[in-house]
Structure 1
Amino acid sequence: MSKILKFTQFSVRDLIVTAAPTILLIVGACLLAYWLVDPAPPRTVRLATGQENSAYEEFGKKYATALAKHGIKVELIPSAGSGDNLRLLKDGKADIAFVQSGSTNEEAAEREGLSSLGSLFVEPLWLFLRETKGQPPITQLTQLRGKKINYGPRGAGAPRLFRQVLELNGVEKGEVERFSLANTPATVELLEGRIDGLVFTSAPEAPLIQMLLQTPGIKLFNFSQAEAYARKLPFLTHVVLPQGIVDLGRNIPAENYNLIAPTATLVARDNLHPALMDLFVQSASAIHSGAGWFQQQGQFPSAKYTEIPVDEDAAKFYKNGPPFLQRYMTFWLANFFDRMWVVVVALGALILPLSKVVPPLYVWRIRSRVYRWYGQLRAVEQRVEEAPEATRMQVYEEQLTRLNQIEELVNQVSIPLSFADGLYGLRSHIQFVRKRIQFLTAEAAPSEAVPV
C-alpha cells in the first residue's frame, strides 16, 4: 500500500524543489524593492530649534513629546534662530527646522532642496525699550538714533528683519549702536540698564516675552504704522496685542499694541522621509491649531504665509486631512501598508514571467527520473555491440546482470501517475534490450560449441 501511495496525480515535493529557486528570487526581489525603493523611516530625526527660553525651544520640546509616542526620537539642536537654522539645513546638520518667513526666497529654497511643511504661528517683532525718567517715550523708530539696541545674535531672524525696518525709516546702519547678545543675556543687560532696548521675534508663549510684558520700567514699542510695514514687506502681517491680554485684572497691557509679524514655518530637507513629514504635519496640527493671542481657532498650521514651496503631501493634508490609513491605524502599521504597493509591483513584474518557467521545469524534473536511465541502457547496448569475439559470452552475461540491476532500480522509481507512461516505456525498452542480448547469446552459443 505504501508503494501504491507513492504514485499520485501530483508531486508536492517535486513542485517545491522546482519552484524553490523561483520563490526565493521573488521573495528576494520583493525585499530588495521594499527596503531600497521606499525604505522604512528612520527612528531618529534632528530638529533645529532656537535660543534658550525661546518659543522655538518650547515648541521643539512639544514636537519631541508628540513623535516619541510613535517611537520616533527627536534630537533637538539649539541654534541662534531662523538664519542659523537655514544654515544647519543647508549643511545637512538638521533634517527639519523652524524658519521665519522672509529669511529666504523661493528660488534659494528650491536650489538648496528645502520645502515647507506649512506655517505654524505668527511671531511678532518685539521691541522692548527701557523707560528713562525725564525723557519722552519713543514713538518713532527714528528716535532710536544713538541708542544701544540689542538686535540678537548673528544667525537669528530678528537682526535681518529689524535692519530692513530701520532702512524703511531712513535710519542708517551706524546710527544705532548694535549689540548681538542672545536673548537671555540681553534681557539681563536691559534690566541692568546697560542697553536701551532689545529686539527679537517670537511667539508670545516664550517665557522672556511673558516676563518683559509684566516688568515695570520696560515698555513695548507700538508699531503705529504696522499696516504700512505689511504693505512694504509682503512677508509681514499686521497683528494687534489686545489690551489686558496678559493680565485682565491688572490691565496688562494698558492699551492695544500694533505689531508687525512674520510667520514661523516648519522647513524640511527634500530627502526627509515622507512618512516623517506626514508625522510632523499631523503633530503641527495638534500643537498649533488652537486659538491664541494673534490667531483664530484652526487658522494654523496652514499652507499659506510662506514663501518656501509647500511639500505636496503637506498640502494634501491641509486640504483633505491625514492619509486614510493613518486615521484608523498606528503610524508604523499604516506606513507598512502604504509601502506594500512596492511589493505588489515587484510581484507583478516577476510572477507573470516566472510562472511560465516553473511548469516546464516541473515536467523536466519528473521526466528526468526516467530519461537518465536511458543513458545506462544505451551504455549496455554499446558494451554488447563492441564485445570482442573471444569474450562475447562473458560480456553478454555481464550486461544481462547489469540489466537486472537497472530494472530493479527502475522499479523503485516513484513518479506521478500522469507521467507513468514514460516509466512503463522504459521498462519495455529494458525488456527489449534483454531479449536482444538473449538472442545474441543463443546465436553465439552454437559457434562456441563447434570443436576447433
Structure 2
Amino acid sequence: MLKTDTLKDQLRLTLRRDLWLVLGPSILLAIAAFAVAFYFIKPAPPKTLVVAAAQDEGGFNYFARRYRDILARHGVTLEIRPTQGSLTSLGMLTGDTAEADVAFVQSGSASGRPQAPNIVSLGGLTYIPLWVFYRGEPIEDVRELRGKRVAVGSPESGTRALALTLLKANAAEQSPTELLTLERDEALARLKQGELDAVFLVASAEAPFVRKLIAEPGIRLLSFARGEAYVRRFPYLSRHVLPRGVLNFEADLPARDVVLLAPTASLVARDSLHPALAYLLLSAASEVHGGAGILDRSGEFPAALEGDYPLSGEARRYYKSGPPLLQRYLPFWAANLVDRLWLMLVPIIAVVVPLGRAVPALVQWRIRSRIVRWYARLKEIELQLEENPGRKMLEDMLSRLDEAERAVNRIPMPLAYAENLYFFREHIDVVRRRVTRRLSGAPDESEALTQRVVVS
C-alpha cells in the first residue's frame, strides 16, 4: 500500500512538472502578447474636454455652446474657456501646462509666428468674413484708409492680425494712420458717434450686429475691388460676393453686391487629443456646420482644410471615410468600449487560441516520449538478431529486454495514456519470443515465414 501511494505521489509530481514545462512558456507568451496589445490601446477617453473660444470673434462662442450641447448627449462635458482672441486660444494649447484641449481659431492668425509642433487641425468649419465698416465717401480698398482712425480689434484677436496684414500690404498702417486696439462693442459705439473712421470686424454673415450696421445711416461697408488679388497673395483667405438684398429683402440690404474677403474658422487641437474624442468633435462639426448659410453651401463644411496646421490622422480618415463604423451604429461610450475590447481580442485570437490547441498535444508528446525512447532499445535488439548472434549475445538480449520492461513499468503514467505502456510491453514480448526461439534452436517467425514461401 505504501509503495502504491509513493507511485501515485510520483505520478502527480511528474504530471505537474510536465504541465509547468509546457504551460510556463505558453503563459509567458500570452502575457507578452497582451502586454504588446495593451501598449497600443489608448486609455478610455476622458469625460471632460476643454475648448478655448474667443468671445467676440467669428461666432466662436456660439459654436462652442452648440458643441457643448452635442457632446453632452454622449456623456462628455465640454468646458468653455473664454479668450481675447485666436492668438490667446492657440497659446492655451501649447506648453506642458496647456489649459485647453481644442480651440476655435481664425485661419491666418498664426501667420508669421513660429508654428507650434504639438497642434493639429481638425479641419475648416465655416467662412467668417472680414467686414470693414467706415464713414465718409465711398472707397474701394483698405489702402484708402491711410491717415484715418481705424479700430483693428483687440491685441490677441485674429481680427487684428488680419487687419494689420492687409494694411501693411498697402503701407497703410504707418503714421499718420491711427490704429486703435478696441473691443468690438466699444469700436462700434465710437464709429456710430463719429469718433472713428473705420472698424475691422470678423464675424459670421448671419451675425445680428452685421445687419444692424449695414442699415445704420452714414456707415458704409467696404467692397474689396481687388479681392482676387488678396486671395492670390494670402491663401488662407477666400473671395465671396454678398448679393444685393440678401440680408434684408424689404430694405434691399446691402444695396449692391459687396465683395468680401473671408478667413476660415478652424478647429484645432493638441496632438494628444484622444482619437475617440476627435471623431466625436468631427461628428459635432458636421451637425453644426453641415448646413447651408449665406456664404456656405450645404455640405461644404466641415472640410479638410489644413490652414496653419496639418490635419490630424483622425481628421484625414473622417473626411475620407466618415465616422468609424462602430460610432455609426453604437452610442459613443459603447463604440469606444467595443473598439478597445476588440484590440484585446487580437492576442487571444493570434496566441491564446493556437496555444489552447498546442498545449494538450505537447503534454501528450512529453508523456509518450518517455516510452517512445525505449523503442530504440527494441530496434537495436531486432537489428542484432538479423546478424545471427551467438548464445551469449542472445542471453544478453533477454537481460536487456527484462531491464527495459522493468524500467518502463516504473514510468509514472496517467490512466488516459496507460495504453501506450501496455502496447510497449506487448512489443517487448514479441521481441522476447524471437530471442527465445533462437536460444531453443527453433526458427523465429520471420524465418519460418521465409521457409514457407520458398517451399511453396
TM-score by length of 1: 0.69
Q: How does 1:180-259 map to 2 (within 5 A)?
A: 180-259=181-260
How far did 1:49 drift? 1.1
SS of match in other structure, 1:89: coil
Q: How does 1:18-417 map to 2 (within 5 A)?
A: 34=38, 37-52=41-56, 54-91=58-95, 92-104=98-110, 108-109=114-115, 111-129=116-134, 131=135, 135-304=136-305, 306-347=307-348, 351=352, 355=356
**Counterpart-to-counterpart distance in 1, 2:246 and 2:152:** 26
How far did 1:202 drift? 2.0
SS of match in other structure, 1:296: coil
How far did 1:106 drift? 11
Per-residue CA shift, 1:107-151, capped at 9, x if unaligned?
A: 954x5211111111111111112x3xxx53344423323322111
Identify the range of structure 1 (182-191 vs 67-76) with the bigger mean alpha-carbon deviation. 182-191
**Counterpart-to-counterpart distance in 1, 2:28 and 2:111:** 50
Amino acid at match of 1:97: A
**Counterpart-to-counterpart distance in 1, 2:140 and 2:173:** 18
- On the 8 A contact 2:141/2:226 being kept in 1, the answer is no
- On the 8 A contact 1:106/1:307 being kept in 2, the answer is no
**Counterpart-to-counterpart distance in 2, 1:309 and 1:116:** 6
How far did 1:192 drift? 3.3
Q: Which position in structure 2 is the counterpart of 1:3? A: none
How far did 1:177 drift? 1.2
- On the 8 A contact 1:53/1:184 being kept in 2, the answer is no
Aligned in 2, Cα 1:416/1:183: closer, same or farther, shift over 3 Å? farther
Amino acid at match of 2:312: D
**Counterpart-to-counterpart distance in 2, 1:32 and 1:212:** 61
**Counterpart-to-counterpart distance in 2, 1:178 and 1:105:** 20
Aligned in 2, Cα 1:105/1:222: closer, same or farther, shift over 3 Å? closer
Aligned in 2, Cα 1:324/1:32: closer, same or farther, shift over 3 Å? same
SS of match in other structure, 1:283: helix
Per-residue CA shift, 1:256-288, capped at 9, x if unaligned?
A: 111111111111110000111111111111111
**Counterpart-to-counterpart distance in 2, 1:311 and 1:337:** 23
How far did 1:26 drift? 6.6
How far did 1:23 drift? 8.6
Q: Which runs of 5+ in 2 are unaligned?
A: 1-15, 365-412, 420-456
Identify the range of structure 1 (318-327 vs 48-57) with the bigger mean alpha-carbon deviation. 48-57
Q: Which position in structure 1 is the counterpart of 2:371? A: none
Aligned in 2, Cα 1:271/1:189: closer, same or farther, shift over 3 Å? same
**Counterpart-to-counterpart distance in 1, 2:266 and 2:147:** 34
- On the 8 A contact 2:140/2:222 being kept in 1, the answer is yes
SS of match in other structure, 1:310: coil
**Counterpart-to-counterpart distance in 1, 2:241 and 2:210:** 15
Identify the range of structure 1 (294-303 vs 97-106) with the bigger mean alpha-carbon deviation. 97-106
How far did 1:53 drift? 7.5
Aligned in 2, Cα 1:196/1:105: closer, same or farther, shift over 3 Å? closer
- On the 8 A contact 2:84/2:157 being kept in 1, the answer is yes
**Counterpart-to-counterpart distance in 1, 2:171 and 2:266:** 30
SS of match in other structure, 1:175: coil
**Counterpart-to-counterpart distance in 2, 1:42 and 1:253:** 47
Amino acid at match of 2:160: P
> Could you say which structure has the greater relative contact order, defined with CA pairs below 8 angstroms and 6 or more residues apart?
1
- On the 8 A contact 1:239/1:258 being kept in 2, the answer is yes
**Counterpart-to-counterpart distance in 1, 2:86 and 2:130:** 13
- Kindly, what percent of the aligned residue pairs are identical? 38
Per-residue CA shift, 1:55-105, capped at 9, x if unaligned?
A: 111111111111111111111111122222111111321111112222236
- On the 8 A contact 1:51/1:183 being kept in 2, the answer is no
Number of residue pairs matched by the alignment: 357
How far did 1:358 drift? 7.0
TM-score by length of 2: 0.68
How far did 1:213 drift? 2.7
SS of match in other structure, 1:212: helix
Q: Which runs of 5+ in 1 are unaligned?
A: 1-13, 364-414, 422-452
Amino acid at match of 1:68: A
Aligned in 2, Cα 1:416/1:210: closer, same or farther, shift over 3 Å? farther
- On the 8 A contact 1:119/1:302 being kept in 2, the answer is yes
**Counterpart-to-counterpart distance in 1, 2:312 and 2:146:** 43
SS of match in other structure, 1:259: strand
Aligned in 2, Cα 1:75/1:29: closer, same or farther, shift over 3 Å? farther
Q: Cα RMSD (Å) of the superposition?
A: 3.7
SS of match in other structure, 1:60: helix
Amino acid at match of 1:66: I
